[in-house]
Chains A and B, each alone.
Chain A
């Protein structure tokens, strides 16, 4: 557990978080490995975890009927995957699959939600940090939507 706590404490996402909180988080954390090609989760499933990616690469996909899945983004080492655990109805909104062998720290969302309800300072810290990730992803998606490399743009 000490190793997990150190990994969590040193992760950029949790930079500056008091050790009391990293200790709380560690209680909800576990080391997980996903082989290339396996799904971490699929759209519509319960979102009960989020992930700190330690190594490897994960693709986020969305699908539409009669179309191949569309890869929206990839996430790699040092990045955070998943915030659906934090917001009702706690369901995944897209697929995530390991493009290559991927090692993550999985944090139990149910466990964290309970701790955030009991300790609103922790909840506020988590929301602040996830809001920043959401803002970055939203901006990247907007730029992606501009399709800036298309002819005539």
Chain B
């Protein structure tokens, strides 16, 4: 079985934007879209680790850090799931097939998926936080024999905000895989769980002491998640969080994404809870 290739930047110069073309745009929710990009240069060398991100240049508007949400072994294209929340993201998700987008990267450390081998894997995602975690799920499912149980807990604001609904259903049918979805606000027609994602922990069938957790979502959500997981018996060193700050250069020069002693772009965005806990508890940082 294949695994993700080691970190290998697309370009030798991390500040040099490479031209890509939009090949597909899929509407996931009313405000969130998945874009598949292909390099305009041949041959494409799109290697990345789950959890890494790219800087996407929206011509005439600006540059954005966006996590890669595709399969690490899909070398011919890069896939991003983008929520439209401002001018740059709105322009990006409105892209038509064939339009050009600039790409720098991949950047960042990535999820330590290999360290979770022979252990149960818990994926805890909130909102668009499922996007950076999807490559982890691909990786575990492709190398199923190397991992214990896979438990995916996913929380969203409402049923209409759920990403990858068909995939979630398909993953739930995989062996040794448990998928639980909850929403903060369920309409009366919703038959699933209602409540924050931490309320799903009691249904997770895994052994905390021999599990590794990967969590991504709003920072306050991750703080609650990590604390509750520790209470349940997860080791702090086995809980990984994806942090987010305003990233500009993506290589640790500009300092925009400094978080305590770390640069999120270079030292992260993935950190173990062991190191992050004191910073997460700071009122302002």
Is there an interface contact between A76 and B203, defined as CB atoms closer than 8 Å?
yes
Min CB gap B241→A, angstroms: 14
Q: In the complex the two chains form, what is the Cα distance from A100 to B83 in whole Å?
A: 33
Q: In the complex the two chains form, what is the Cα distance from A79 to B198 in whole Å?
A: 14
Is there an interface contact between A71 and B196, defined as CB atoms closer than 8 Å?
no
Please indicate the chain B residues that have their CB under 8 angstroms from the CB of A78 in the complex. 202-203
Q: In the complex the two chains form, what is the Cα distance from A59 to B157 in whole Å?
A: 17
Chain B interface size range: 20 to 34
Min CB gap A70→B, angstroms: 8
Is there an interface contact between A71 and B127, defined as CB atoms closer than 8 Å?
no
At the interface, is chain A mostly helix, strand, loop or mixed? loop
Please indicate the chain B residues that have their CB under 8 angstroms from the CB of A148 in the complex. 126-127, 217-218, 220-221
Number of A interface residues in the complex (CB < 8 A): 27
Please tell me if B188 contacts chain A, counting CB pairs below 8 Å. yes
Given A69-B188, A72-B194, A100-B191, A149-B220 contact (CB < 8 Å): no
Closest to B191 in A: A99
Min CB gap A125→B, angstroms: 21
Is there an interface contact between B196 and A77, defined as CB atoms closer than 8 Å?
no
Chain A CB within 10 A, most for which of B190, B195, B224: B195
Please tell me if A64 contacts chain B, counting CB pairs below 8 Å. no
For B194, give its contact among A74, A147, A150, A152 (CB under 8 Å): A74
Given A73-B199, A76-B203, A149-B218 contact (CB < 8 Å): yes
Min CB gap B5→A, angstroms: 33
Given A68-B188, A99-B191, A140-B126 contact (CB < 8 Å): no
Q: In the complex the two chains form, what is the Cα distance from A100 to B191 in whole Å?
A: 8
Please indicate the chain B residues that have their CB under 8 angstroms from the CB of A100 in the complex. 191
Chain B CB within 10 A, most for which of A68, A100, A146, A153: A146
Please indicate the chain A residues that have their CB under 8 angstroms from the CB of B188 in the complex. 68-69, 71
Q: In the complex the two chains form, what is the Cα distance from A143 to B155 in whole Å?
A: 12
Please indicate the chain A residues that have their CB under 8 angstroms from the CB of B199 in the complex. 73, 140
Is there an interface contact between A147 and B186, defined as CB atoms closer than 8 Å?
no
Min CB gap A80→B, angstroms: 11
Please indicate the chain B residues that have their CB under 8 angstroms from the CB of A147 in the complex. 157, 184
Please indicate the chain B residues that have their CB under 8 angstroms from the CB of A146 in the complex. 220
Min CB gap B267→A, angstroms: 24
Min CB gap A47→B, angstroms: 21
For B196, give its contact among A79, A143, A151 (CB under 8 Å): A143
Is there an interface contact between B126 and A149, defined as CB atoms closer than 8 Å?
yes
Given A68-B188, A74-B194, A144-B196, A151-B203 contact (CB < 8 Å): no
Is there an interface contact between A149 and B85, defined as CB atoms closer than 8 Å?
no
Please indicate the chain B residues that have their CB under 8 angstroms from the CB of A150 in the complex. 157
Closest to A145 in B: B184
Closest to B195 in A: A73
For A143, give its contact among B85, B191, B198 (CB under 8 Å): B198
Q: In the complex the two chains form, what is the Cα distance from A100 to B190 in whole Å?
A: 12
Min CB gap A57→B, angstroms: 8
For B218, give its contact among A69, A76, A153 (CB under 8 Å): A153
Is there an interface contact between A149 and B156, defined as CB atoms closer than 8 Å?
yes
Is there an interface contact between A143 and B220, defined as CB atoms closer than 8 Å?
yes
Min CB gap B281→A, angstroms: 16
Is there an interface contact between B195 and A144, defined as CB atoms closer than 8 Å?
yes
Min CB gap A119→B, angstroms: 29
Please tell me if B161 contacts chain A, counting CB pairs below 8 Å. yes
B-side interface residues toward A, CB under 8 Å? 31, 83, 85, 126-127, 155-157, 161, 182, 184-188, 190-196, 198-199, 202-203, 217-218, 220-221, 224
Give 22 A-B contacts (CB < 8 Å), ordered by A residue. A59-B194, A68-B187, A69-B188, A71-B185, A71-B188, A73-B195, A74-B186, A74-B193, A74-B194, A74-B195, A76-B193, A77-B203, A144-B184, A147-B184, A148-B126, A148-B221, A149-B155, A149-B157, A149-B184, A151-B31, A151-B85, A153-B218
